[in-house]
Structures are given as structure tokens and as C-alpha cells.
Structure 1
Amino acid sequence: MDSKLMQQFVEENNCTFLYLILANEELKRISKIPFEIKKDLGKKLTTIALDHVAADDIPDYFIPEEEKTEGKMQDIIDE
């Protein structure tokens, strides 16, 4: 794990708590990878998750919901 990279991320963004939440979500995602792939990673999953978050190399976990515009009742029924 590159602790300098993690330290730089936390200092620049001032969001330690968010960092840990994102690392936990990344760990959940990595844990779902098939065993054949995980065994070739070469590091502990927690270390990989922390590195991904520090390098900003993670997918969007929280996607905002799309707002539907209010329309006529017939438009809503047709959907």
C-alpha cells in the first residue's frame, strides 16, 4: 500500500471519513471478483481497496436518481 498516496489524498480532499467509506465499498466490490482472479492480485484485498480509493480509481457507487418530469396523466399511463 502506498501510504504517501493515501496521505496526499486525505490532505488534499480533507475527507478521512469519506475515504474510509469509499474504501469499504471498493472492498465489497473486489470481494465479489472470482477466486481465480483474486489469487493473482498479489496483495491483500484491503490494501488493494485503499490503493484504488487513494488513486481515485474506483467506479461510481452512488449514482443520483433521475428525476421524472411531471406530465399529463395520459403520459404517465402510457409509460
Structure 2
Amino acid sequence: MDNKLMQKFIEDHNCTFLYLILANEELKRISKLPYQIQKDFDKKLTTIALEHVAAHNIPDYFIPEEDKPEGKMQDIIDE
């Protein structure tokens, strides 16, 4: 595990708690991969997740909500 990369990320962004939340979300995503893919990993899943977050190599987990225009109740139900 590249501790220098992770330490630099935490120092630059001053967000240890956010780092751990994102690492946990990344771990959940990696854990859902098929076994055929997971068996080829050379590191533990937690290590891979921490490194992905430190390298900004993660998908967007939190997407802002879209503002929907107000309409009739039936239009909202049909969506």
C-alpha cells in the first residue's frame, strides 16, 4: 500500500472523515465484483479501495438531485 500517496491526499484535502467514507463506498463496490475478477487482485480489497480513493480513481457515489418541475399529480405518478 502506498502510504505516501494516501497521506498526501489527506493533507492536501484536510478531509480524513470523507476519505474513509469514500473508501468504504469503494470497498462495497469492489466487493460486488464477480469472484473471477477478484481472484486476480494481488492485494487485499481494503488496500485497493484506499488506493483508489487516494488516486481519485473512483466513480461518483453522490450525485446531486435534479430539480423536477412541478406538475399534475398524475404526471408525477406516471414517472
Give every structure 1 segment of 4 or more consecutive aligned residues whose post-TM-superposition deviation is greater than 4 Å.
Answer: none
**Cross-structure match for 1:38:** 38
Secondary structure at the counterpart of residue 33 of structure 2: coil
- For the pair shown, the structure with the greater C-alpha radius of gyration is 1
Aligned-pair identity in percent equals 75
**Count of residue correspondences:** 78
Gaps of 5+ in 1: none
Distance 2:21 2:36 in 1: 27
Secondary structure at the counterpart of residue 63 of structure 2: coil
Secondary structure at the counterpart of residue 57 of structure 1: coil
**Cross-structure match for 1:3:** 3
Distance 1:35 1:46 in 2: 16
The answer to whether residue 75 in structure 2 is matched with residue 67 in structure 1 is no
TM-superposed CA distance for 1:21, in Å, is 0.3
The answer to whether residue 49 in structure 2 is matched with residue 49 in structure 1 is yes
| TM-score computed with the length of structure 2 as normaliser | 0.89
Q: What does the per-residue CA deviation read over 1:38-70, in whole Å, with 9 as the maximum and x for residues that have no partner?
A: 010110000000000000000001111110123
Q: What does the per-residue CA deviation read over 1:2-23, in whole Å, with 9 as the maximum and x for residues that have no partner?
A: 1000000000000000000000
**RMSD (Å), alpha carbons:** 1.9
Gaps of 5+ in 2: none
